[in-house]
Amino acid sequence: MLRHVYRPNSPAPAREMPHPGRFSQRASRAGGQPISELMHQALARPNLVSLAAGFVDQQSLPVEPVREAMAALLEEPLEARAALQYGTTLGFAPLRERVLAELLAADGQTVAETGLSADRLILTAGSNELLHLVTDTLCDPGDLVLCTAPTYFVYSGILKNLGVGSYGVASDAQGLIPEALDEALARLDRRQELSRVKALYIVSYFDNPRGVTLVGDRRAAVVEIVRRWSQQAGHVIYIIDDMAYRELRYAGPDLPSLRRYDEAGDTVITTHTFSKSLSPGLRVGYGLMPKPVLDAVCDQKGNINFGSPNFNQHLVAKLLDAGRWWPHVERLREAYRPKLAAMLAAAEEHLGPIEGVSWVQPEGGLYVWVELPSHCDAGPNGKLFDLALAEGVLYVPGEFCFPGEGTEVRANSMRLSFGVQPSERIHLGMAALARAIVKATD
């Protein structure tokens, strides 16, 4: 007897699918990036002065240089077709060579004297992709990454997504404190947890969220401490040096990167991006790293997309070759310098008179970090956040930026960005913020 008869014109009654589907554990850890909710708040209230978004200044975006580079690229059919074809997983070789030369030149080196080649460099869709790839390559769920406290909260999201713990290391106005790093590693060793530690993540120039730069004499110390503990751990603990803001310097001399202190070249993974110094929409980021890490990262990436947008890499190469990048960086510095000055002046004027309020004075980047009296909760569920919204200003609560363990979460802090708003609105926003703080601390 036939038990199943296929009758195409009479579909079986629809049975509801179990909902939701059974997703991976990793997917369940992917959501909840706090910034999404903040963006929502900002979009819902167009009159709000958002000092929250870490976007770059809209007016500064390089329309003309990109138009010229695009025209030059499309003018040459052979090259245009090469750009419109798949590229390689590592990325467009001439751009990798160019970027390597720029990275080394910033550290006062040439390609010839270092013996490094572009096969140590990979191009990605922004540096966030690279941070994810590198972390996924180094870490299993349950591993640990040491992070400066506070740290870039999107990176904390990556760690959470991958099931990796974040362990905070104290920092001050001069960046990560070497003694605190040594002590954190010693503590983890005493707890027999050194085997879980795979990396130290640090934003070494004008960090996100504080605008703080790791000072010169701490750089060598950080590399030395991590290398020493690698010996003890029996595996390399890598330093992921995120240099996203290096070019956005408005005062003072540049500092050599952490890679300069890694003489054996086996510890520091440099990640960088054209997002801040050119255009985030182009999504061109890159990383220079020890060869075994690069090979493993490339294998991972090959499973995802066999390379980030080739066309954009050709475009950026054209723009660089035409000598259009550094003049643009200079223009950006001219555009952001007065905005930083406006935010610091407004802080002095409006926040200065409020007892217990202090802020960091950065020399670059896009952010100013403010600390409030210890009893003042600036978190999203605290009194101040709503009072600030009512006054018409949005900030990023500092508590989002603290690693899971190792250091305390300081809810009495906030990140302010001066990148997006014009100076007048920065002033308005800071005055509104001061009113809210006064009410919250009453």
Nearer to ligand PMP, 129 or 391 (CB): 129
> How do 367-371 and 413-417 pair as beta strands?
antiparallel
Q: Which stretch binds ligand PMP (CB under 6 A): 39-47, 111-119, 126-134, 411-419?
A: 126-134
Hey, what amino acid is at 276?
A: K
| Residue 6: CB minimum distance to ligand PMP, A | 51
Encoded one letter per residue, x for contact with ligand PMP by CB under 6 A and - for no contact, window 197-226 reads: ------x----x------------------
Long-range interactions of 58-67: CB distance < 8 A, separation 24+: 58/420, 59/335, 60/331, 60/332, 60/335, 60/336, 61/279, 61/281, 62/278, 62/279, 62/319, 62/324, 62/328, 65/319, 65/322, 65/324, 65/325, 65/328, 66/279, 66/282, 66/315, 66/319
d(CA 79, CA 314) in angstroms, rounded, equals 9
Q: Around Cβ 323, how many Cβ atoms within 10 Å? A: 9
Nearer to ligand PMP, 194 or 289 (CB): 289
d(CA 124, CA 127) in angstroms, rounded, equals 6
DSSP 34-56: HHHHHHHHHHH-TTSEE----PP
> How do 413-417 and 396-397 pair as beta strands?
antiparallel
- Which residues, 6 or more positions from 116, have their beta carbon under 8 angstroms from its beta carbon? 100, 104, 265, 288
Q: Which stretch binds ligand PMP (CB under 6 A): 121-129, 174-182, 372-380, 420-428?
A: 121-129
Nearer to ligand PMP, 9 or 58 (CB): 58
Is 158 in contact with 132 (CB distance < 8 Å)?
Answer: yes
Nearer to ligand PMP, 156 or 230 (CB): 156
Both tokens of 23, joined, read 């997703």
- Neighbour-count burial for 384-393, b at 16+ CB within 10 Å, e otherwise: bbebbbebbb
Residue 148 pairs in a beta bridge with: 169
| Residue 147: CB minimum distance to ligand PMP, A | 11
Nearest to 285 by CA among 227, 334, 243, 322: 243
| Residue 155: CB minimum distance to ligand PMP, A | 7
- Which residues, 6 or more positions from 82, have their beta carbon under 8 angstroms from its beta carbon? 314
312 binds ligand PMP (CB under 6 A): no
Nearer to ligand PMP, 265 or 280 (CB): 280
128 binds ligand PMP (CB under 6 A): yes
Rule CB under 6 A: choose which of 94, 163, 280, 422 binds ligand PMP: 280
d(CA 77, CA 311) in angstroms, rounded, equals 13
Ranges of H-type helices in 347-402: 383-391
Nearest to 319 by CA among 6, 24, 63: 63
| Residue 151: CB minimum distance to ligand PMP, A | 9
Rule CB under 6 A: choose which of 50, 89, 127, 230 binds ligand PMP: 127
Nearer to ligand PMP, 156 or 310 (CB): 156
| Residue 239: CB minimum distance to ligand PMP, A | 15
Residue of closest CB approach to ligand PMP: 126
Rule CB under 6 A: choose which of 134, 159, 177, 244 binds ligand PMP: 244
Please report, as residue ranges, which positions from 245 to 274 form the binding site for ligand PMP (by CB under 6 A).
273
285 binds ligand PMP (CB under 6 A): yes
Is 247 in contact with 231 (CB distance < 8 Å)?
Answer: no
241 binds ligand PMP (CB under 6 A): no
54 binds ligand PMP (CB under 6 A): yes
Q: Which stretch binds ligand PMP (CB under 6 A): 122-130, 214-222, 314-322, 427-435?
A: 122-130
Rule CB under 6 A: choose which of 92, 152, 167, 205 binds ligand PMP: 152
d(CA 271, CA 285) in angstroms, rounded, equals 8
Nearer to ligand PMP, 271 or 413 (CB): 271
Rule CB under 6 A: choose which of 182, 242, 262, 391 binds ligand PMP: 242
Nearer to ligand PMP, 72 or 106 (CB): 106
Nearer to ligand PMP, 230 or 273 (CB): 273
Contact residues: ligand PMP, CB under 6 A: 54, 126-128, 152, 203, 208, 242, 244, 273, 275, 280, 285
